Chain A
Amino acid sequence: MTIRNDMTLAGVKAGAGLEAAVKMDRASVIGVVRDSGMKGRGGAGFPTGVKWNLAAAAQAEQKFVVCNADEGEPGTFKDRVILSEWPGLVFEGMTIAGYAVGASEGILYLRGEYTYLCQSLEKYLHERREANLLGQNILGKEGFDFDIHIHMGCGAYVCGEETALIESLEGQRGEARNRPPFPVNTGLNGMPTIVNNVETFAWAAAILANGSEWFKKIGTEKSTGPKMLSISGDVDQPGVYEFPMGTPIRDVLAAAGGEDAKAVVIGGASGHCIPASEFSRAISYEDVATGGSVIVFGQDRDMLNAAENFMEFFADESCGQCTPCRIGNVKLLEGIALLKRGKCSTKYLRDLCSLGETMQVASKCGLGQSSPNAFLSIVKHFSHEIMNRTSAVNAIGVSNE
């Protein structure tokens, strides 16, 4: 039982979005997506209609639509659930995007860890080809040719970053590129490429089916629509939930049975730690933005352990291209080891925090720019817990060894 509450996507009529789209001209399709106000569901929150419009405006002989199913952010699994339950909507969203921007090729970049999904997804693609939902002159629309293939990832978190993903598709090491130029102009093989999250494509199909007003009615003015959240950690019912954008963290926790948590980390390892005193804050782009990872920490959890786990993750996953991230993550991890042993001076802790701030501005890609977030927010909110330990005993009175 991974799906825990009512899912809007379950009620979206398969095929309706694509049918509506081919009746419109390309600009109107983009117009509907833009009017819905939807922002990317992968974390960065870039308005989807604007992205599509940029790719549509670019002049090129070939364009690509890439679905980012690399889902590597710790604590996220909603894309896996969407691909298991509603793969048709995801492919439909990609096809609509292909129509809107004038691309003929779509690629689903599926993380290697999800290889077991590949077979059934291939089957769906086959069925769509049979039904003329992929292929040539789709739904009888003259000149609308689009097909999708699956490309398997290979166990690298950084390949979720869109330019690293494109490098990986080109057969290279997954090392992020400088931006600009952006993929909408210079993407895969130098061609205009839109990269969107799995959930973004599913909602795009739903928006074309039900209209932008339908989508806009849900959520807040700046963060429209519903959002799927992956909830794990110290809750009674972990799993995938859907909430309107703008829902307070407290309500999210209540639904999952985690009201008495002492903190949540929202946005995964690259997200922020929110202490119980701030549970009235809302999940939305204007307040606590997230790709959907909600990790809940109960009263007896040691937050320094969480910080350590996150920094081990980043030290392992950094692509090593730029110094702030390659060295910085290791230095923060070493600093956490000192803190754990009760051997960190206040001055050194301050130095570590300023190193984290340097990484946020000086790293080349989003990995290094956001890897210090969790550490910095844990130090900020739980300094009493982090500093209140000696070499033998940790903050909650448990022996270190």
Chain B
Amino acid sequence: MEMTQQDKLTAKIDELVERHGCHRSALIPILQDFQKQYHTISDLAMQTVADKLGIHPVEVYGVVTFYAFLNENYHGRFVIRLCRTISCDMAGKDAVANQLCNDLGIEFGQTTPDGRFTLEWANCIGMCDQGPAMLVNEQAFTRVTPEKVHDILSACEKAFGPHAPQIEEEHVL
């Protein structure tokens, strides 16, 4: 018998509960791993996790909405987080932000209609000596210039192509 989307989601959550444990302190690791695959934590996912851990869904909702890296709305395959904090600001983050908006055709806080990219602000990401800095998913890019934006985005784009290479690591130390 073929699995429905809901069955798959439940199976995924079962697997994560198995891996991280069936207790409250496993909640955040479970949600983090779930989101990596689903790019969002839906109401159904929150309900299912809550049932498994024996807590109220509102508890899960409270956690999801608290943390910047947990999202209840859909996020793109690549989440770009540009640092807006002071050192990157002084190093010229506004020009990079502008170019990101131009090249992606979206504003900060939005996801491209094809679901590939989400653009967000980050607070200091610990690359202040090499600003402007940004994260693309888990990778850090430093000394980003408006000219470099295009290269970074096209490296991401390739991930959707037939050869799907990894983006080259660019953070220094």
Tell me how far the C-beta of B27 lies from the nearest C-beta in chain A, rounded to whole angstroms: 4
Contacts of A1 in B (CB 8 A): 172
Alpha-carbon separation in the docked complex, A189 to B75 (Å)? 33
Alpha-carbon separation in the docked complex, A171 to B68 (Å)? 15
Alpha-carbon separation in the docked complex, A306 to B27 (Å)? 37
Contacting B at CB under 8 A, from A144-186, are 151-152, 154-157, 168-174
The answer on a CB contact under 8 Å between A173 and B90 is no
The answer on a CB contact under 8 Å between B25 and A230 is no
Task: State whether the Cβ of A238 lies closer than 8 Å to any Cβ in chain B.
Answer: yes
Contacts of A238 in B (CB 8 A): 87, 128-130
Contacts of A127 in B (CB 8 A): none
The answer on a CB contact under 8 Å between A309 and B89 is yes
Task: State whether the Cβ of B112 lies closer than 8 Å to any Cβ in chain A.
Answer: no
Alpha-carbon separation in the docked complex, A79 to B86 (Å)? 19
Size band of the interface chain B makes with A: 35 or more
CB closest chain-A residue, reference B123: A313
Contacts of A189 in B (CB 8 A): 25
Alpha-carbon separation in the docked complex, A286 to B171 (Å)? 36
Task: State whether the Cβ of A62 lies closer than 8 Å to any Cβ in chain B.
Answer: no
Contacting B at CB under 8 A, from A265-293, are 265, 269
Task: State whether the Cβ of B165 lies closer than 8 Å to any Cβ in chain A.
Answer: no
The answer on a CB contact under 8 Å between B87 and A74 is yes
CB closest chain-A residue, reference B142: A2
Whether A77 contacts B127 in the complex (CB less than 8 A), given A232-B87, A233-B87, comes out as: yes
The answer on a CB contact under 8 Å between A77 and B69 is no
Alpha-carbon separation in the docked complex, A230 to B127 (Å)? 10
Tell me how far the C-beta of A69 lies from the nearest C-beta in chain B, rounded to whole angstroms: 10
Contacts of B29 in A (CB 8 A): 151-152
CB closest chain-B residue, reference A312: B84
Alpha-carbon separation in the docked complex, A295 to B128 (Å)? 9
Alpha-carbon separation in the docked complex, A230 to B23 (Å)? 38
Q: From A112-120, A212-220, A334-342, give the one contacting chain B.
A: A112-120
Contacting B at CB under 8 A, from A84-120, are 84-85, 111-116
Contacting B at CB under 8 A, from A61-95, are 71-77, 79-81, 84-85
The answer on a CB contact under 8 Å between B28 and A154 is yes
Task: State whether the Cβ of A243 lies closer than 8 Å to any Cβ in chain B.
Answer: no
The answer on a CB contact under 8 Å between B63 and A155 is no
Contacts of A233 in B (CB 8 A): 86-87, 90, 128
The answer on a CB contact under 8 Å between A156 and B68 is yes
Contacts of A155 in B (CB 8 A): 67-70, 122
Contacts of B124 in A (CB 8 A): 72-76, 313
Alpha-carbon separation in the docked complex, A1 to B84 (Å)? 23
Whether A171 contacts B171 in the complex (CB less than 8 A), given A75-B128, A113-B122, A155-B67, comes out as: no
Alpha-carbon separation in the docked complex, A151 to B135 (Å)? 20
Alpha-carbon separation in the docked complex, A105 to B95 (Å)? 46
Contacting A at CB under 8 A, from B110-151, are 122-131, 135, 138-140
Contacting A at CB under 8 A, from B1-57, are 23-29, 32
The answer on a CB contact under 8 Å between A232 and B68 is no
The answer on a CB contact under 8 Å between A171 and B25 is yes
The answer on a CB contact under 8 Å between B138 and A116 is yes
The answer on a CB contact under 8 Å between A306 and B86 is yes
The answer on a CB contact under 8 Å between B123 and A157 is yes
Tell me how far the C-beta of A98 lies from the nearest C-beta in chain B, rounded to whole angstroms: 19
Contacts of B90 in A (CB 8 A): 233-234, 297, 301
Task: State whether the Cβ of A201 lies closer than 8 Å to any Cβ in chain B.
Answer: no
The answer on a CB contact under 8 Å between A173 and B62 is yes
Task: State whether the Cβ of A231 lies closer than 8 Å to any Cβ in chain B.
Answer: yes
Whether A313 contacts B25 in the complex (CB less than 8 A), given A72-B124, A113-B122, A232-B131, comes out as: no
Alpha-carbon separation in the docked complex, A185 to B145 (Å)? 49
CB closest chain-A residue, reference B121: A316
Contacts of B85 in A (CB 8 A): 74-75, 269, 309, 313
CB closest chain-B residue, reference A234: B90
Task: State whether the Cβ of A239 lies closer than 8 Å to any Cβ in chain B.
Answer: yes
The answer on a CB contact under 8 Å between A170 and B126 is no
Contacts of A80 in B (CB 8 A): 126, 173
Contacts of A3 in B (CB 8 A): 173
- Interface-central residue, B23, B66, B67, B69, by most chain A CB under 10 Å: B66
Contacts of A357 in B (CB 8 A): none
CB closest chain-A residue, reference B140: A116
CB closest chain-B residue, reference A111: B126
CB closest chain-B residue, reference A157: B123
Tell me how far the C-beta of A109 lies from the nearest C-beta in chain B, rounded to whole angstroms: 11
Contacting B at CB under 8 A, from A2-55, are 2-3
Question: C-beta contact mask, B158-173 vs A, less than 8 Å → 1, else 0?
Answer: 0000000000010111
List 19 A-B residue pairs with CB atoms under 8 Å apart, sorted by A's residue number: A71-B126, A74-B87, A74-B123, A74-B128, A85-B173, A113-B126, A171-B26, A171-B27, A173-B66, A233-B86, A233-B90, A234-B90, A238-B128, A239-B129, A265-B86, A301-B90, A309-B89, A313-B123, A313-B124
**For the complex of A and B, 3 pairs with smallest distance between CB atoms:** A155-B68, A238-B129, A155-B69
